[in-house]
Structure 1
Amino acid sequence: MNDLLSLIKDQDATQAPPDLEAQISTPPSPTKEEEGEEKSMEGFFKEVAAIKSLMGEIRRNQGKLSDAHEQSKTITRSAEMRDLREKMQAEINQVSRSAEAIKKRLAELDRNNEAALKKGVYAPGSSAERTRTAITGALKKKLKDLMGEFQDLRTRVNAEYREVVERRVYTVTGQHADEEKIDHMIDTGESETIFQKAILEQGRGYVLDTLAEIRERRDAVMELEMSLMELHQIFLDMAVLVEAQGELLDNIEAQVARSVGYVQAGTNHLQAAKQHQRSKRKWMCCGLITGIIVILIVVLVVIGTTRGFGSS
């Protein structure tokens, strides 16, 4: 018995272990079309991440601009206003650079999407196309929202600048200037005529410093206004892309809605077919049982009749 066991062990040792990996079916290698689509989508998402990063920078710059504007309301010295003016201009310049970069990247994204579709990297109406279109459209809509926020900032800066000028005039002269004088002061920057009486009463030193601060403030607002107008033009150029993308998204949503309707109709037909099949099986079972009962009755009748004849 021991010799038999040792012989079996020796045979097991000499035999190669079974190749388990060979027994497991390996998944099929991706086709060239699938590899091309995957590579294309990978590049697409990298570009989307870069655009989102630029939008984040614009959002941060916008916050700094808003904070600087709030700070400007409390400044009363020309030197401080000059420093703040330079700071605000640096922020708006950065916003313009980021906006230009986003504009170019979005245009390139559209071109890449169209080229991939023409080359057959993905099929029209496929999940890849819908994903690209939806994400690109969402980016453009976010940019449109940013455009609206900068417009709000521009309106707020102009309105509050007027209020600050009115307060400065009242602080120095002790009188409220009429709207015409304030408008003239804002449009031309000329303000000495308004402060002539104050110069005679309080001395040129104090009043001239206030005048210098008002001029610095006006220059800051004018520069910001011009920069925001240029930025607004960049946004307007991209708004055309946003509107076109919106129409495309509406078409895709309509196609998806129709597809959902087709799927729902197919599901309803399938459910009706299943119900009909169940009903058919039910009637077949009932017919089979009825047939068996009839056969049993006939058999019993025949047996009873046969026995009757036998007994007679």
Structure 2
Amino acid sequence: MDLSLIIQQSISLSISGSTLKIYAQSDDEDAGMDDVAINVDGFMDEFFSEVEEIREMIDKIQYNVEEVKKKHSSILSAPQTDEKTKQELEDLMADIKKNANRVRGKLKGIEQSIEQEEQGKSATADLRIRKTQHSTLSRKFVEVMTEYNRTQTDYRERCKARIQRQLEITGKATTNEELEEMLEQGNSAVFTQGIIMETQQAKQTLADIEARHSDIIKLENSIRELHDMFMDMAMLVESQKKIMILICLTVLGLIVCDH
């Protein structure tokens, strides 16, 4: 049967004990639904356990990213730097980094296992399942880490704008280009030189400028790390696009043959 003649096909994965079932249905036939049962051995049970572990870690990263956004807003809206909030932010970022490295390591391990099996024998049903799961997890991971990178970059811009406003208050107006040059020097003294700290407000302004500059330095290190990780995983996902198409066609082919 040609694929163009199929009006509707639905595929559902049902894992129960050690059995995986793939269901297919076509509207142009009254025969009902055919079940294809694929036995899943202990290795696949272990694989799905690892998949669930990876998924939970990605969910944890996603949750922490949302918490990071809240901390960013809290820090920028506060008149003074709250050390407790800053520490909580650093703890969140450290946890994201730890889990992200664990996820990347596990995804690479699965990828290597798949490559080794592909070299040793022809494609099997469980190999196609593992490829699909690996691709799905990789894409989700890249999406979450991309959002985290966007969050960090946005916070950097907001910190920079805060510094620029505070400098204007002290009478030291700067352009975006000048501000970037000052940030590249990595020394908060370039922002505060010439500021007279005769009042408490001036001292607070100075402290805020130094705090935001410190945040930006930490952010830039984090963004560099994220960039390397993102490029690594993005290339992995890109290389899997053709694989996913082949998997889908293969599964459809199996279903068509059954009909």
**TM class by shorter-chain length?**
0.7 to 0.9
SS at match of 1:77: coil
More strand by share: 2
Aligned to 2:155: 157
Aligned to 2:22: none
Rg comparison, structure with higher value: 1
Paired with 2:176 and 2:48, the residues of 1 have a C-alpha distance of: 54
1:228 paired to 2:231: no
User: What letter matches 1:138 in structure 2?
Assistant: T
Paired with 1:215 and 1:142, the residues of 2 have a C-alpha distance of: 37
More helix by share: 1
User: What letter matches 1:248 in structure 2?
Assistant: I
User: What letter matches 1:108 in structure 2?
Assistant: G
Paired with 1:130 and 1:178, the residues of 2 have a C-alpha distance of: 55
1:53 paired to 2:56: yes
Could you give the per-residue CA deviations for residues 73-130 of structure 1, whole angstroms, max 9, x where no partner exists?
Answer: 122324x2x443333222211111111111111122223334556666xx62x43222
* Alignment length (residue pairs): 221
Aligned to 1:89: 90
Could you give the per-residue CA deviations for residues 134-168 of structure 1, whole angstroms, max 9, x where no partner exists?
Answer: 11110011011123212211321122112211222
1:44 paired to 2:42: no
User: What letter matches 1:127 in structure 2?
Assistant: A
Check conservation: 1:76, 1:210, Cα contact below 8 A.
Answer: no
CA 1:217–1:115 in structure 2 vs 1: closer, same or farther (change >3 Å)?
same
TM-score (norm 1): 0.61
User: What letter matches 2:64 in structure 1?
Assistant: N
Aligned to 1:103: 104
Check conservation: 1:51, 1:105, Cα contact below 8 A.
Answer: yes
User: What letter matches 1:186 in structure 2?
Assistant: L
Aligned to 2:130: 132
Residue 195 of structure 1: CA displacement?
A: 2.8
User: What letter matches 2:72 in structure 1?
Assistant: H
1:243 paired to 2:244: no
Paired with 1:224 and 1:87, the residues of 2 have a C-alpha distance of: 15
Greater RCO (CA < 8 Å, at least 6 residues apart): 1
Paired with 1:116 and 1:257, the residues of 2 have a C-alpha distance of: 23
User: What letter matches 2:168 in structure 1?
Assistant: Y
User: What letter matches 1:191 in structure 2?
Assistant: F
Identity of aligned residues (%): 20
Question: Where do 5+ consecutive residues of structure 2 fail to align?
Answer: 1-36
Check conservation: 1:99, 1:231, Cα contact below 8 A.
Answer: no
